[in-house]
Structure 1
């Protein structure tokens, strides 16, 4: 659903308008809310229910039915979160007294550890050959993704005005339109400076984007994904590489070196520290491997 579109449901439309105008959520996030609420609306229509008279038992029944139909635990969690947010809004507006989605839990999600590259693999990946404009642009993008732990959307939304190389700082607009200032490492500064020296060869006049395509316009997320996958293949990466893998690698390496979970949370722009804590599992996994290989009481005896 694009901004300004309607779902033909006055309550849902008002909620989405609130998310767009007051919470300033992205069109993609609004689409997800609309899809999840539309699924609940379809279930209610089948059972002759309406938003304002739904109860907790019925929310549980909807959750159980969707689970039996094969919906994953992660998808159910997301839909319940959307439903809770919707009813929280209706309660705030005085339309209901109780939130029927509160207390309803989806099955637990088995947490999957993010894929990362180790330090040596990252170093190999970032040794890009070539001095053509696209070579220098790709080098700068990849260095910046790893240097500052950027999300893909944050990278492509960067403007020239967001960058201060003299102070080695970058202002980033993340989820929920929240801004944060991030340091830019020395390798990334050098790569960006080289790109800026020839950027005008590609960029259209008055184009504010830091990274542009051959046509001179702001790069799309898909173009960045494609370029990174191609570069990784050329550099002999051990697996398919995507932009978020560089962010995961940044977080893992920072936490492994510093042990400062709060600092890594700030750098990543995570609202909840539990999101950042997944990287402690990666770090522990690494430490466990080192222990198994190095400790005399941990090493398995060789078979006779």
Structure 2
């Protein structure tokens, strides 16, 4: 039965707390839980004192289409639809926006290998050895920034890390040269157990601080700030691997993707690359 009694109150703290507990029982990641709760509160701010109806959700959907990118709007709708299922009000759910998948990635957001090398060099110029190694670890393994905590001193000795993320477990192999660099770093920092990338107090690095540190490299590296964020290193790993192996299924396993359609997004290159390939095909004949 729909928990209507909660919607008559100004304060929905209780229902939100119960829903957050439900998400944890469903083994959702902390980042997912925070996002769902943030989106849910945004919806209730929009709803105000109005009743929860499908018309109200549709009105919010229309507002999102005017204020957000459609992909962002869809993720917010997914959060609210999940909540509506939980409270027993599936009749209030709305469909996501239909978005045609882009064949090419945007050139202004495609990080190249040369730009990646300049970012690593800039980190070293800034005397930030930890950041230089962090960039290389993400790019050389394809892990998510949230998975850095699984790169431990113990994993370094094994040559592989067991990563648990989004309810799935996979093995991430550590390249030989990366292991050599990380061993030296651990030796100098006297890290003999636990996560390699951590604060002075031994806590895993916060993703917001990593993001900020990366952005600080842009000027020195002469790289467009729009290209510089941790997840773009994962995309560079995917494109580089696919160019060499042309094995989309294996790449999906390495990235921890359940749906190979997601992996296709990671391997998309800029339209300029395809333009050059078409020029090399030589199928346009000279006029006689």
1:100 aligns with 2:82: no
Determine which of 139, 146, 151 is the counterpart of 2:144: 151
Determine which of 77, 85, 88 is the counterpart of 1:88: 85
Deviations 1:244-287 (A, max 9, x none): 22111101111122121122122112233222111343177534
Any conservation in 2 of the 1:136–1:194 contact (CA below 8 Å)? no
What is residue 64 of structure 1 aligned with on the other side? 62
- In structure 1, list runs of 5 or more residues that go unmatched: 1-6
Change (3 A) 1:257 1:64: same
Determine which of 21, 34, 37 is the counterpart of 1:31: 34
Deviations 1:91-139 (A, max 9, x none): 4xxxx5x44315x23363775836333344444554579699x654334
Any conservation in 2 of the 1:256–1:283 contact (CA below 8 Å)? no
Change (3 A) 1:161 1:85: farther
Change (3 A) 1:107 1:197: same
Distance in 1 separating the partners of 2:100 and 2:15: 30
**What SS is found at the alignment partner of 1:244?**
helix
Deviations 1:40-76 (A, max 9, x none): 33444443x14xxx34x443233224435x3432332
Any conservation in 1 of the 2:47–2:56 contact (CA below 8 Å)? no
Deviations 1:201-259 (A, max 9, x none): xx6xx97321234566543323433444445654x354333322211110111112212
**What SS is found at the alignment partner of 2:92?**
coil
- In structure 2, list runs of 5 or more residues that go unmatched: 1-10
Change (3 A) 1:289 1:67: same
Any conservation in 1 of the 2:211–2:229 contact (CA below 8 Å)? yes
Any conservation in 1 of the 2:36–2:79 contact (CA below 8 Å)? yes
TM-score, scaled to structure 2? 0.76
Determine which of 157, 162, 165 is the counterpart of 1:171: 162
Worse-superposed segment, 187-196 or 114-123 = 114-123
Deviation at 1:191, TM superposition (A): 1.3
What is residue 142 of structure 1 aligned with on the other side? 135
Distance in 1 separating the partners of 2:23 and 2:56: 25
Deviation at 1:34, TM superposition (A): 1.9
1:219 aligns with 2:216: no
**What SS is found at the alignment partner of 2:93?**
coil
Deviation at 1:142, TM superposition (A): 2.2
What is residue 40 of structure 1 aligned with on the other side? 43
Distance in 1 separating the partners of 2:163 and 2:77: 30
Distance in 2 separating the partners of 1:189 and 1:300: 54
Distance in 2 separating the partners of 1:129 and 1:18: 42
What is residue 4 of structure 1 aligned with on the other side? none
Determine which of 177, 183, 190 is the counterpart of 1:193: 183
Change (3 A) 1:238 1:79: closer
Any conservation in 2 of the 1:254–1:264 contact (CA below 8 Å)? yes
Higher relative contact order (CA 8 A, sep 6+): 2
Any conservation in 2 of the 1:145–1:246 contact (CA below 8 Å)? yes
1:282 aligns with 2:274: no
**What SS is found at the alignment partner of 2:161?**
strand
Any conservation in 1 of the 2:78–2:96 contact (CA below 8 Å)? no
TM-score, scaled to structure 1? 0.73
Distance in 2 separating the partners of 1:71 and 1:139: 34
